[in-house]
Amino acid sequence: MDEKILIVEDEKDIARMLDYNLKKEGYRTVLAHEGASAALLAAKERPALIILDLMLPGLDGLEVCRRIRVDAKTAAIPIIMLTAKGEEADKVVGLEMGADDYVTKPFGIKELLSRVKAVLRRSALLGEVLEVYRAGDLELDCSRVLALVKGRPADLTSREFELLKALMTAGEKMLSREALLEKVWGLDASLEVETRTVDVHIGTLRKKLGAEGRRIVTVKNYGYRFEAGKK
């Protein structure tokens, strides 16, 4: 049990207390003290769980939560939100925004640790059920971040993997270049990233997938679509 947990909390005493107790339980930890770096750290570190304080300087917890959910790299990471008493309305919004659970301050560390365990267990179970996609000789194993062709790793970069995942999980739906940019490049998609970037990555992805690459179908003047049933 050495899962990585990202702690986002501006109150240093609480952050230290969480850090100490989670480490004592055998978890690895990463700390952020404000919202903007929290979303970036989540994408970089890909923790198994995020403990997110609602009231933060700069970007608040709700906005951080929203950013984490729209970024393909972090969308599936479970979030436990910390709320202070009297933030009931925010708590509801938090759950709607995609937080998995919440704990009201002040909280006992035992209660928090048991929530952490429960959320991690739930997400592991969910992962086992949902995280493998197949089409022909192609297999996408999301929990191991691995694409296999005839059982052999296709050696994709993380972008190529996320691109393939976005296409395979869209259920044969057409995805525009812009939609793929947002899904795969997410927060990194600044103005310098052009839609042509998507075409370049699709090109290398197809090559690496060999014959299975033909399942990625070009939709002219629009984007791409994944055809699972293509012969």
- Tell me which stretch binds Ca ion (CB under 5 A): 5-13, 27-35, 185-193, 219-227: 5-13
Per CB under 5 A, which region of 2-10, 38-46, 146-154, 156-164 contacts Ca ion?
2-10
CB of 13 to Ca ion, least distance (A): 11
We find the least distance from the C-beta atom of residue 66 to Ca ion, in angstroms, to be 18
Q: Does 182 bind Ca ion (CB under 5 A)?
A: no
Work out whether 34 is an interface residue with Ca ion (CB under 5 A). Answer: no
Give Cα separations from 158 to 80, 85, 110, 188, 224 (angstroms).
26, 40, 36, 13, 19
Taking the least distance from each CB to Ca ion, the nearer of 81 and 154 is 81
DSSP 126-179: HHHHHSEEEETTEEEETTTTEEEETTEE----HHHHHHHHHHHTTTT--EEHHH
Closest CA to 170 of 105, 224, 132: 224
Structure tokens at 224: 């791409």
72: helix, strand or coil: coil
Residue of the chain from 17, 30, 36, 55 that contacts Ca ion (CB under 5 A): 55
**What mask, x for binding Ca ion by CB under 5 A, covers residues 110 to 149?**
----------------------------------------
- The DSSP 8-state label assigned to residue 81 in this structure reads E
Q: At closest approach, how far in Å is the CB of 214 from Ca ion? A: 51
Coil, strand or helix: which one is 181? helix
- Report in angstroms how near the CB of residue 8 gets to Ca ion at its nearest: 9
Number of residues that bind Ca ion (CB under 5 A): 3
Among residues 86 and 229, whose Cβ is nearest to Ca ion? 86
Judged by CB under 5 A, does residue 90 bind Ca ion? no
Residue 173: Cβ within 10 Å count: 10
C-beta separation of 213 from 169 below 8 A? no
Binding residue (CB under 5 A) for Ca ion from 5, 8, 53, 184 = 53
Determine the Cα angle at 53 with ends 97 and 159, to 5°: 60
Instruction: Give a three-class secondary structure readout of 204-219.
Output: HHHHHHHHHHHHEEEE
Based on the shown chain and the rule CB under 5 A, indicate whether residue 160 belongs to the binding site for Ca ion.
Answer: no
Nearest residue to Ca ion, by Cβ distance, number only: 55
Binding status of residue 19 toward Ca ion by CB under 5 A: no
Interaction residues for Ca ion, span 70-89 (CB under 5 A):
none
Residue 10 sits in the site that holds Ca ion (CB under 5 A)? yes
Burial class of residue 40 in the structure, from the number of CB atoms within 10 Å of its CB (0-12 exposed, 13-18 middle, 19+ buried): middle
Contact residues: Ca ion, CB under 5 A? 10, 53, 55
